Amino acid sequence: MEKKVEKYDVVIIGGGAAGMTAGIYCGRARLKTLIIEKSLVGGLATYTNEIENYPGFPEGSTGIELMNLFQKQAKKFNVDFKLTDVRSVDFTADVKIVETFRVRYEAKAVIVASGGKPRLTNAQGEAEFLFDKGISFCATCDAAANSGKDILVIGSGDAAIEEGMFLTKFARKVYVSVMHDTGKMDCNEIAKAEALHNPKMEFIWNTVVERFEGNERLETVVLKNLKTTEMVPVKVDSCFIFIGYLPNTEIFKDILPMTRGGYLLTNEKMETSIQGVFAAGDVRDKFLKQVATAVGDGAIAGYAVEKYIAESEMFETQILNHGYPSLVYVYNAIDPQSRDHLSLLDRYGTENPEIKVCKVDVYKSDGLAKRLGVTKYPMLVFVNHNRIQGETEIIDEKSLRTIVS
Ligand SMILES: Cc1cc2nc3c(=O)[nH]c(=O)nc-3n(C[C@H](O)[C@H](O)[C@H](O)COP(=O)(O)OP(=O)(O)OC[C@H]3O[C@@H](n4cnc5c(N)ncnc54)[C@H](O)[C@@H]3O)c2cc1C
């Protein structure tokens, strides 16, 4: 099937908090921006019933409400949304390719904001009971269906305990399987204190899941006591697994650099090692994965993309000069000596109109210097036929004449 081709300035893969924030920045910078989301716009944040730590919402907010506001703001800046999954990418050329089942998107830049997915226990029987058969990863989605029922939560991190407490508003009983010794949990101290005092919560310490059992639906989770190796069967209506997340980076394997765990590596500008490809949010290797940090990443990535596209245009029109000769002066504006040469360059430009004189101030951004491969400043570079023909650190009348000859 011949795929339809659509062109954008920026394609953002993933419509969670990071992707939508990047979209707001790109859209507001008047870049033609597309967000591709494969399931639910809002991403992981929509899984949580209560977000209390996102600034600006002193009363807290549900994840869905907060993410709806993000989407509304992105749409205000004309960001397009497409609900489909990205199947493959090709980042080898200047024009970046992002492919879905039907469409081949071409973009000047791509932001990967594909987040993560819940980690599984990999215990026996797990695959049989996923989602609507009794194993869930989303308290917000499945709490009401568990009214008056018995639930088992796996894990003791912030998500496990906070979502477990939310579930106590619906369930008859919430058991919590914790792999640590009695009283030791991975969540914050406030959540821990509240959970330990919650009469509907019962902790089963030193345990991990051995297997999931049932017929059509999950009926029993057999836990194993790590100290005694005793098997502890727990009769449940549902089990909620909150034991961490895995990054959604399968399609970037061998394309983008990542950690052994699959998290993408970026610098502080959210740049990956491929020019024009950025990453933001939970998909990155970073210290804290939260909505607030996803928003910070998205803002940086959106801003960096805007600069990257502006620089690409400048590189093409000013420096490569469409294949015609150009003399590029790379300097740092805070260095007085470098500034002294500017008038010499201006004079040369006036006297030699056939050669474009172009000044690159690395104090503002070193992006263009990097593209030229220049790391020392000041430097004079002569470009012709789209290639560097010569460069010199000596900047005077004679070197100007020599380098272009
Ligand atoms: C239960 C729970 C409770 C939480 N509580 C809080 C909290 O109280 N406060 C807080 O700050 N944070 C909380 N978090 C964390 C927060 O939700 C995340 O850090 C944040 O949502 C990450 O945003 P993101 O945009 O980086 O990734 P995500 O939200 O994961 O978004 C990535 C999106 O990319 C999409 N995607 C992936 N691959 C593709 C593809 N190939 N094609 C198209 N789309 C793709 C996914 O479908 C997803 O929607 C919680 C998380 C969970 C699970």
Measuring CA to CA, how many Å separate 323 from each of 327, 355, 387, 390? 12, 11, 8, 15
Segment 225-247 shows an average pLDDT of: 96
Pocket residues for ligand 1 (CB within 6 Å)? Answer: 13-19, 36-40, 43-45, 47-48, 51, 53-54, 85-86, 113-116, 159, 163, 248, 251, 281-282, 289-292, 294
Q: How far apart are CA 12 and CA 10, in angstroms?
A: 6
Name the band, by pLDDT with cuts 50, 70 and 90, for residue 308.
very high
Residues 62, 168 share a domain: no
Minimal-distance CA residue to ligand 1 atom 17? 45
61, 291, 295, 300, best to mutate for ligand 1 pocket (most atoms within 8 Å of CB) = 291
How far away, in angstroms, is 405 Cα from ligand 1 center? 57
Residue 366: per-residue pLDDT: 87
Query: DSSP code of 214?
Result: E
Minimal-distance CA residue to ligand 1 atom 48? 43
What's the CATH number where 350 sits?
3.40.30.10
Predicted TM-score (pTM) of this structure: 0.83
How far away, in angstroms, is 43 Cα from ligand 1 center? 4
Residues 257, 237 share a domain: no
Per-residue pLDDT for 104 more than 90? Answer: yes
Other Cβ atoms closer than 10 A to 367: 21
Residue 47: per-residue pLDDT: 79
Name the band, by pLDDT with cuts 50, 70 and 90, for residue 114.
very high
Of 270, 287, 314, the one marking the end of a domain is: 314
Residues 288, 208 share a domain: no
Segment 230-246 shows an average pLDDT of: 95
Specify the number of domains making up the chain.
3
Compute the Cα dihedral for 141, 147, 149, 151 and give only its sign.
positive
Q: Which atom of ligand 1 is the closest one to the Cα of 282?
A: 26
What's the CATH number where 231 sits?
3.50.50.60
pLDDT tens digits for 121-174?
Answer: 999 999 999 877 999 988 877 888 899 999 999 999 998 999 999 999 999 999
CB 35 within 8 A of CB 12: yes
Residue 217: per-residue pLDDT: 95
Residues 137, 96 share a domain: no
Residue 289: per-residue pLDDT: 86
Residue 53: per-residue pLDDT: 86
Domain that holds residue 193: 126-241
